[in-house]
Amino acid sequence: MAQFRSPSKAHRLFLLLLLPASLAFSPAAPIHSFVSAQPTSTSTSLCSASNTAPAIPMWAQHEISITAPSRGCHLITSEVNKAIQKDIASMKIGMANLFIQHTSASLTINENADPDVRRDMEVALNKICPGQWTKDGTFRHTMEGEDDMPGHVKSSLMGVSLNIPIKNGRLALGTWQGIYLNEHRDQGGWGGGHTRRIIITLQGQS
């Protein structure tokens, strides 16, 4: 009966060359040890080792009422900042939502320096949707005046809400950005025009 002989060093080296590089092992190690080897996990847990509780979001809400002095685009950034200054001061990161509760006025963000920009915005809007369309049969909704249906169209074009990031206790507006209230009706004047209500909702963390 033939007697089993242990593989020589040369045989073990030959077997090593036949194995993939990922299974490289010491020539003296038994082959069965690689069959039971388990892969090592490299994933990183998203949970903090200290199990620190997540920060609780802070919420605040304000309502401001503004009557524009005339039809057109009006800068209201200071009024918004005044209403939210106490609550936003403690928020390092978050979001502010502004929502106007009307169908013939709107909100937008644009240049805060040259007042000609606001004048030109009003001119452009009147070119896009002229009041003449109320008289020439283009519009059917005409009972509330020549400026009413064009006001509805402009409100939808410009939008009734804004989302502005909060950064380090203030609205993260650009250097030349300001918040506009766009009054699309002719009935203006302090105390005699349309009072526009704007809801400001803040969500953030300190």
| pLDDT tens-place string over residues 65-98 | 999 888 999 999 999 999 999 999 999 999 999 9
- How large is the average pLDDT for residues 164-181? 98
Q: Are the C-beta atoms of 65 and 195 separated by less than 8 Å?
A: yes
Angle CA 24–27–33, to nearest 5: 65
DSSP code for 133? G
| pLDDT tens-place string over residues 23-45 | 444 444 443 433 344 434 443 33
Q: Are the C-beta atoms of 117 and 182 separated by less than 8 Å?
A: no
- How large is the average pLDDT for residues 168-187? 96
- What's the CA gap between 77 and 80, in Å, rounded? 5
Between residues 99 and 1, which one has the greater pLDDT? 99
Q: Are the C-beta atoms of 118 and 180 separated by less than 8 Å?
A: yes
> What is residue 120's three-state secondary structure?
helix
